[in-house]
Structure 1
Amino acid sequence: MNSRPVKFRAEIQGFRALCIAQVLLFHAWHVGSPIGVDVFIMISAYLLTGSLVRQAERGQVQPFWQRWVHIFKRLLPPLLVTIVGTLIAAILFLPRTRWLEVLQQSWASLFYFQNWYLQHQAVDYFAANSALQSPLMHLWSMSMQGQIFLLFPLLIWIIARVAKPAGIDVRKLSLVVFSLLALVSLYWLLTKFVAGSSAMYYFDTRSRIWEFSIGSIVAILEPRIRVSGSASTLLGWAGVGVVVVFGLVSIGTYPGPAALAPMLGAAFMLLFVRTTTSRSSVAHVLSWRPLVFLGDNSYALYLVHWPIFVLTLSALEIDTMPILMGLGLSAVSVLVAVALTRLVDDPVRLSPRINVSAWRKLGVVGASVAVGSIVFAGVGSWMNRELSVDTFSVEEGGAGFEDGVEPYLGALVLENENGEADINTLRDGIEPIPAIADMGQEWAAYPYECEGVFANYPDFGNVANHANSCRQMFAEDGGGPRVVFWGNSHMEQYLPAFEMLAQEENWHAAALLMGGCGVATEETADQTCVDWYEASARWITEDVRPNAVVFVVTDSVAGDVDAVTPGAVSFVERLNDAGVAAIGVRDNPRFDDNPLECAASGGDVSRCGAPRAQVYSKRLPLIFEMQETLDFRFVDVSPVLCPGDWCPALMGDMYVYMDDNHLTSTFSQTLQLAMSREFESSGALDLLARAGRP
């Protein structure tokens, strides 16, 4: 936010310019530590709290809702223009597979919950390939700031209401409240930091409230702190210097305790840097007119630069940004930001007609939300029509039968004499399924909650990017062999392929899954996965004691051939010791590029996918040893996933993958015949029949 305090401080705007420059450097080339946004957060809280506390001291306790509409009257119009412009550009330049995601993030950004949306999606903010990231991802910080702008005015309003009747100094009570808030938030961050990766809490508001609170504490303490001119100059240079060093050098993990140093540096800058001090003060550097100009446009620049970066990289199909391109796009971003400030931000900020009353400000807020909602709803309706598939006309015998192959066979197309001609081929008149609009529904799941013998499973709930679940295939135990499908999302994607087997063999089957986890060791997994692995293995061997456990026994790695999962042998031995047989399924490929995006882009579909030799090992000797020495069988459907020497993205008029490493549930259903044959030919069915529960 760029609103100038009553006494304009040019040095703060210059400081903002340094921060936005650091953001540009980090987003373009990952230069330094990502502290520019953190310092912005602190400055915004400093300005907001200072204004509110001063008003409260004068007895001018403004209703919190009026402060809300004053803030969001400023923030929403430029934000709305940015989101709408980005959404339109995404439709023009991004693959169709990414449209719905950008639309969903448009809603999340407009209503200031983008950070929580990204947290739920487990998005990697530090991913090296910016072209694959969302052009609206950067708005997580605006959402977090919006949430704080709702909380802090309410807090100070309550403080003022409590302090006056009790005869307590507003500033002192505010200091206590914001200090406690900072300590609680910092304690929460440190516990999460010790427990796991920053990806687990990067977008979590609670991990950064302390940064906002420090800005508020600085604003509260500022009138009470006095130092000499020479000390002020020294502390000012030290504070700004620390922020600059962190902005240029990668130091620590964010958010994390390393952020304390640049936050304290920013606090020193706000407390001690003044243009009224010595000319040797850093204030005179920060007050340089070009820096102040950049600071005046910093809010708009933050909004527009990331969409410009991401959309350009995606349109040019490049992963990283060359130096000259980065400089050019940064210059373009500045020009667009200046236009956004002059044409949208300034007119709303300076308009006497709007600012005459809180109700008119509320009208601007309401109009922004209404316009955004109408636009997004309209675009969403259009997208659903554009990305849906009408299979009715095809199934009625319209198009696609000229070569004698029925439409929508998926893997079953290989059963036909002419089937191989329908691999990585778009046939005239046939839109592949599942529809792009339905990809979010392509995760498989069994219909019933685990109960009976499958009750009391280890329930870890949702932990960051891990999601625990246990579902059983049938409502009741039919008396047949008990089978547990165990592992992560790569086991989940195969679930539909087992349904024919389960019905024919009368299995009582359940799927115990934990996203991102599987066979885990301290060296290969985070602590959540290690804990889940131990708990689930204990549940299987001591409580359920099924006939067999089916799990994905190999690991596919993008850019390399697959290999046996580390720790798989000890896992099978543990199962066998409890009288439980093990059946290992070969993993599907992981790709460097998203095969779905490639196949849905309208280009040459035959190039979508990868050579079999690039993703699958020719030999897996450890698998042979496990089958010789353990109650273990290996099931390999890779000849179906990669018929011949190519692993296609499209087979039998079906998209094989929903992303770069997961099968669609629709396609997985067509693997049932192949999976049944593999279970029989590999000896897995015989092993399962022999295995008994002790």
Structure 2
Amino acid sequence: MTQPTPLASHLWNAPAVRVVPPQAPAPRPRPPIRGDGEVEHRGFRGDIEGLRAIAVLSVLLWHGGLTALPGGFVGVDVFFVISGFLITRLIVTEIEQTGRLSLIGFYGRRAKRLLPGAAVVLATTLVLSYLFLPKTRWAETGWDVVSSGIYAVNWRLAERSVDYLASDQAPSAVQHFWSLAVEEQFYLAWPPLLLLAAALIRRSRRAGRSIRGPLLVCMLLIAVPSLTWSIYLSSSDPGRAYFHSTTRAWELAIGAGLAIVAASLGRMPRALAVVLGWSGMGAVLASFVVIDRSMPFPGYVALLPTLGAAAVIAAGPAAGRGGPVMLLGLSPMRAVGSLSYSLYLWHWPLLVVARAALGDLSVAQSLTVVAFSFLPAYLTYRFVENPFRYAQAVQYSPTRAIQLGILCTAIPVIAGLLFQFTVWPPRGASRPVPSVIADAGLAKSADPAAPRMGAAVLASSPGGDRKGAPVDRPGQFVPDALAARNDLPDLYRQGCQASGTDTEPRSCTYGNQSASFTIALVGDSHAAQWAPALQAIATAKGWQLVTYTKSACPFLSAEVANGDRPYTSCTSWNRTLLARLTGDQRPNLVVTSSSNYRAVRGDRVLDSEESRSALGEGMHTTWKALGSAGVKTVVLRDTPRPDIDIAECASQYPNRMTKCAVDRDEALSGIGERQVAAAASLRNVTLVDLNDAICPTDRCAAVIGGVLVYRDTNHLTATYAATLAPRLNAALERALRN
């Protein structure tokens, strides 16, 4: 996903598997409660309760890192089907029995059932974030809680999934609320639509005719376009597709369709129902094993778990004890099913906090945290969910239940805003880049007596310079760790970085707009990180700088992968850009660099060794084409890659910054050697290696010369890149003389 990474969590907030009693003029005694806490009544479906247990356990085990269940995340899709069935059954039954639907009654039941537990978990997550998460994650967590409180976090995560700048950030502690948001949006929109459809149907047909047939047609009018859109978007934009409500509506519609035809399903022959039920159970279990994150999801792949769940639900009444209920109806399964909502709410924040406090967890440790989540889940179920659900004050007063829902919505929203604006006060930004450049000595107006910063403190031959060695207390530095995420090249703010789906190059121009000498900066974000240094050079020399960069797209002829799929838009972008750079818009000099990638051949993502060879050939072919067109090329060897979030580490260990240092050899084990080999035999191509000024010693420091070197796991801060301008300027002058 991002397909979202384990980072891509999910679940649902399926309604209780019971029918809430109709309003009564006076309070009535509370219904009898089974041992596992659910109301016992004629409409209870033990197989559905057990199916909820199967679904939530698959998600918990997958988040715990159990590799035997690569598709455990599809438990959320099972819940979507369950929710669509239960909600629609309640609505259609009420419409048929009373001729109307009390929307305030419906929303009141949902509010008292779902919102108190969610409010408790969201508020507690803020407290845990304050105690255990690095400060760099507080701001995002505050906004995530706010959007979760209003059940819109799935849209926020959808946009973040296509934001390359956020791709290396740790997952949100409330990321799992995305699926709750999808269901809440369904709960808000579906009842009025059903009520409207029923009214129109009855107006156009004589009284007394069943509304179920026409409602089923309405359901198909929603499900078919949604599934079609889901299949398309899952292939073209999988990150966004994963979180969108529009790509999930068909899953809820499957359950809704089952509820509409439920009466007919009950007349199914028992033998057929038994086969159908167990086949569906097999499909659900198989989906946990055969589906993985490399597949376009949800799309057509999600048909396996959703149709499997639908088959279990459809066959249940007719199959009787011979169906899956013999397994799903067992007391332990029903007990877990009754806790499923609370379990889902609690397990993910606890995992995120544990990983932040203890570092990377083993599978055994992660599963221990997951097992521990049963305790707060039970306490929430016992002392929050049930008391509010059955409280006399709201049991027979939908208005009071709505008021309770408003309160439970306001709590996380207000708490998240307070956390954002008071617990995490905005910090000052870094020093302006021009000032840093002046300190580095490139600008003609530079004051020789001004203190030097960043790479400027290092010797002219910086390799081994102890001024760049890691220390525990480097003193005050810029940008502040909390502001480092935003210490970006100007081209990001100005919208010049092409996004994942763009096939046409975007450009920004800096320096002298009418200059006779033009530099083109070309490549992915590892090329874009050099823009501050090149801007300073262009300004000082009166040159023109034009940028052509695209997220996660190296400038080479080989096809690369985006996640686990061919990055087709990158291939098109490269083809168009190469024609531009060798045609009428030919620059005097191309400067390029790139990170490491996996190459694609056909539909197959190559392994590491094959990828290195394919990438090397792709670079050689592209640079040779530039040289044949008379364009000189400077290849900047890729920078060391710490693979730990340096800004987050610096905020977490301000007095033990050596914990943020990484081994130089490991950090350099990327694409650099291939860049050297690809450039070696080509005329008009010069390789420039400035890594000794980024990591001078055998361990790469987080701070050099009072400047934070990295803004995340692998990108230089714009401030530090700017301090490399004099060294890059000297390298460009040598290249142009050759």
Partner AA of 2:692 in structure 1: P
Structure 1 segment 549-588 matched on structure 2, within 5 A: 549-552=590-593, 555=596, 566-588=617-639
Find the residue that maps to 1:304 and give its secondary structure: helix
Residue 402 of structure 1 corresponds to: none
Look up the match of 1:337.
Answer: 377
> What whole-Å deviation, never above 9, does each CA across 1:238-260 have from its counterpart, x for those lacking one?
22232123235546833242321
The residue aligned with 2:393 is 353
Letter in 2 for 1:528: S
Q: Give the counterpart of 1:438 among 477, 483, 488.
A: 483
Q: Does 1:172 align with 2:213?
A: yes
Instruction: After superposition, give the CA deviation of every residue in 1:598-651 in whole Å (9 maximum; x if it has no partner).
Output: 333225322423233223379958647736532222222211111133322111
1:203 aligns with 2:203: no
Alignment match, 1:260: 303
* Alignment of 1:371 onto 2:404: no
Correspondent of 1:270 among 295, 313, 319: 313
Identity %: 28
Q: Which residue in the other structure is 1:398 paired with? A: none
1:517 Cα shift? 0.8
- Residue aligning to 1:103: 142
Q: How does 1:635-650 map to 2 (within 5 A)?
A: 635-650=688-703
In structure 1, what is the equivalent of residue 346 of structure 2? 304
2:729 maps to 1:676 = yes
> Does the 8 Å contact 1:195/1:527 carry over to 2?
no
Q: Give the stretch that moved more between structures: 538-547 or 663-672.
A: 538-547
Q: 1:310 to 1:629 in 2, by over 3 A?
A: closer
Distance (whole Å) between structure 1 residues aligned to residue 159 and residue 414 of structure 2: 25
| Partner of residue 470, structure 2 | 424
Change in CA separation of 1:60 and 1:673 when aligned onto 2, cut-off 3 Å:
farther
Out of 555, 578, 591, which is 1:537 matched to? 578
Please tell me whether residue 290 in structure 1 is matched to residue 332 in structure 2.
yes
Structure-2 change in CA distance of 1:642 and 1:506 (3 Å): same
Distance 1:505 1:391 in 2: 23
Question: How far is the alpha carbon of 1:312 from its aligned partner?
Answer: 2.0
* SS, match of residue 517 in structure 1: coil
User: Kindly tell me: are residues 199 and 302 of structure 1, through their superposed partners in 2, closer, same or farther at Cα, counting changes over 3 Å?
Assistant: same
Residue identity opposite 2:388 in structure 1 = V
> Is 2:205 the counterpart of 1:152?
no
User: Does structure 2 retain, via aligned residues, the 8 Å contact 1:547–1:580?
Assistant: yes
1:67 lines up with 2:141 in the alignment: no
Residue 183 of structure 1 corresponds to: 224
The answer to whether the Cα contact below 8 Å between 1:178 and 1:217 also exists between their aligned partners in 2 is yes
Deviation (angstroms), 1:200: 5.2
For residues 269 and 408 of structure 1, what CA distance do their matches in structure 2 show?
Answer: 70
Measure the CA separation in 1 of the matches of 2:180 and 2:501. 21
Counterpart residue identity of residue 316, structure 2 = V
User: Cα distance 1:72–1:120, how it changes in 2: closer, same or farther (>3 A)?
Assistant: same
Deviation at 1:388, TM superposition (A): 5.6
One-letter identity of the residue aligned with 2:489 = A
Match of 1:600 in 2: 651
CA contact (8 A) 1:387 1:437 kept: yes
The alpha carbon displacement at 1:43 in A equals 0.3
Q: Given residue 552 of structure 1, which amino acid in structure 2 is its aligned partner? A: S
- Please name the residue that 1:411 is paired with: 455
- Corresponding position of 1:279: 321
Secondary structure of the 1:133 match is coil
Q: Which secondary structure state, in structure 2, belongs to the residue aligned with residue 202 of structure 1?
A: helix
Task: State the AA in 2 paired with 1:227.
Answer: M
Asked whether the equivalents of residues 496 and 665 of structure 1 are also in contact (C-alpha less than 8 Å), the reply is yes
Q: Which residue of 1 aligns with 2:543?
A: 507
Q: Secondary structure at the match of 2:583?
A: helix
Q: CA deviation at 1:172?
A: 2.1
Q: CA deviation at 1:406?
A: 8.2
Query: Does structure 2 conserve the Cα–Cα contact (< 8 Å) formed by 1:182 and 1:210?
Result: yes
Matches of 1:216 and 1:83, distance apart in 2: 29
CA RMSD of aligned residues (A): 3.6
Cα distance in 2 for residues equivalent to 1:654 and 1:466: 36
1:66 CA displacement: 5.6
Question: Is 1:634 the equivalent of 2:670?
Answer: no
Distance 1:407 1:256, change over 3 A: farther
Gaps of 5+ in 2: 1-13, 20-42, 436-448, 562-566, 599-607
CA–CA distance in structure 2, aligned partners of residues 189 and 92 of structure 1: 39
1:18-167 mapped onto 2 (5 Å cutoff): 18-28=54-64, 29-32=66-69, 33=71, 34-62=73-101, 64=103, 67-122=106-161, 132-167=170-205
Q: 1 CA distance for matches of 2:382 and 2:309? A: 28
Q: Following the alignment from structure 2 to structure 1, what is the Cα–Cα distance between the partners of residues 468 and 706?
A: 7
What is the alpha-carbon distance in structure 2 between the residues aligned to residue 466 and residue 601 of structure 1? 40
Residue number among 489, 510, 527 corresponding to 1:473 in the alignment: 510
Work out whether residues 223 and 250 of structure 2, in 8 Å CA contact, stay in contact via their aligned partners in 1.
yes
- Alignment of 1:320 onto 2:362: yes
Amino acid at match of 1:616: L
Q: Is the contact between residue 171 and residue 220 of structure 1 (CA under 8 Å) also seen in structure 2?
A: yes
Alignment check: 8 A CA contact 2:473 2:656 kept: no
Question: Quick check: 277-286 or 222-231, which moved more?
Answer: 277-286
Shift of 1:277: 5.2
The letter for the 2-side match of 1:235 is L
Q: Secondary structure at the match of 2:143?
A: helix
Change (3 A) 1:542 1:170: farther
Give SS of 1:136's match.
Answer: coil
1:422 and 1:305 mapped to 2: Cα distance?
Answer: 42
Question: Which residue of the other structure, out of 646, 654, 672, is the alignment partner of 2:707?
Answer: 654
Q: Distance in 2 between matches of 1:637 and 1:214?
A: 58
The question of whether the paired residues in 2 share the 8 Å contact of 1:200 and 1:465 is answered with: no
Cα distance change on mapping 1:446 and 1:625 into 2, 3 Å: closer
Instruction: Report what 2:274 is aligned to.
Output: 233
Query: 2:299 and 2:200 mapped to 1: Cα distance?
Result: 34
Secondary structure of the 2:642 match is: coil
Q: CA deviation at 1:214?
A: 0.7
1:314 Cα shift? 3.0
CA separation of 1:494/1:466 partners in 2, compared to 1, >3 Å: closer, same or farther?
A: farther
Cα distance between partner residues in 1 of 2:385 and 2:100: 27
Structure 1 residues 202 and 277: CA distance shift in structure 2, 3 A: closer
Structure 1 window deviating more from structure 2 (540-549 vs 65-74): it is: 65-74
Give the alignment of 1:483-502 within 5 angstroms: 483-502=519-538
Distance 1:340 1:624, change over 3 A: closer
CA distance in 2, matches of 1:285, 1:94: 41
- TM-aligned CA deviation for residue 278 of structure 1: 4.2
Higher mean alpha-carbon deviation, 381-390 vs 360-369, is at 381-390
Contact 1:200/1:464 (<8 A) preserved: no
Alpha-carbon displacement from aligned partner over 1:506-547 (angstroms, at most 9, x marks no partner): 122221221111225564231111111112222333342221
Aligned mates of 2:650, 2:482 — CA distance in 1: 15
Alpha-carbon distance between aligned partners in 1 of 2:524 and 2:498, rounded to the nearest angstrom:
14
CA contact (8 A) 2:50 2:337 kept: yes
Unmatched runs of 5 consecutive residues or more in structure 1: 396-404, 451-458, 688-694
Question: What secondary structure does 2:519 align onto?
Answer: strand
2:667 maps to what in 1? Answer: 615
How many residues align? The count is 656
1:461 is displaced (CA, Å) by: 6.2
